[in-house]
Chains A and B, each alone.
Chain A
Amino acid sequence: MKKYPDISEIIKQKEQHRRVLAALPFEQKIEIVFKLRERREFIKSGRVISNSKKPKTESG
Chain B
Amino acid sequence: MKETLKVVNQMVRDGVIEDYAIGGAIAAIYYLEPFDTADLDIFVQVSTTGSALMILAPIYEYLIKRGFKAKGEFIYIEGLPVQFLPVFNPLTEEAVRKAQTIKYARVTTRIMRPEHLVAIMLDTRRPKDYLRISMFLEHGTVNLRSLNAVLRRHDLMKKWKDHEHRFKP
Chain A contacts to B: CB under 8 angstroms: 18-19, 21-22, 24, 26-27, 29-30, 32-33, 36-37, 40
**What would 18 A/B residue contacts be, using CB atoms closer than 8 Å?**
A18-B33, A19-B33, A19-B139, A21-B34, A26-B102, A26-B104, A27-B105, A29-B29, A29-B30, A29-B33, A30-B1, A30-B26, A32-B34, A33-B29, A33-B34, A33-B35, A37-B38, A40-B36
CB-CB nearest in chain B for A24 = B34
Decide if B38 touches A21 in the complex (CB within 8 Å). no
- From the candidates B26, B32, B37, B38, name the one contacting A22 in the complex (CB within 8 A): B32
Assembled-state Cα–Cα distance A40/B36 (Å):
8
Q: Which positions 118-151 of chain B face chain A at CB distance < 8 Å?
A: 139
> From DSSP, what is the main secondary structure of chain B's interface residues?
loop
Which residues from A are CB-within-8-Å of B105?
27
User: Given A22-B33, A24-B34, A30-B1, list of 6 further CB < 8 A pairs?
Assistant: A21-B33, A22-B31, A26-B29, A26-B102, A27-B105, A36-B34
Chain B contacts to A: CB under 8 angstroms: 1, 26, 29-38, 102, 104-105, 139
Assembled-state Cα–Cα distance A22/B34 (Å):
7
Nearest-CB distance from B38 to chain A (Å)?
7
Decide if A22 touches B35 in the complex (CB within 8 Å). no
Which residues from A are CB-within-8-Å of B34?
21, 24, 29-30, 32-33, 36
Decide if A33 touches B37 in the complex (CB within 8 Å). yes
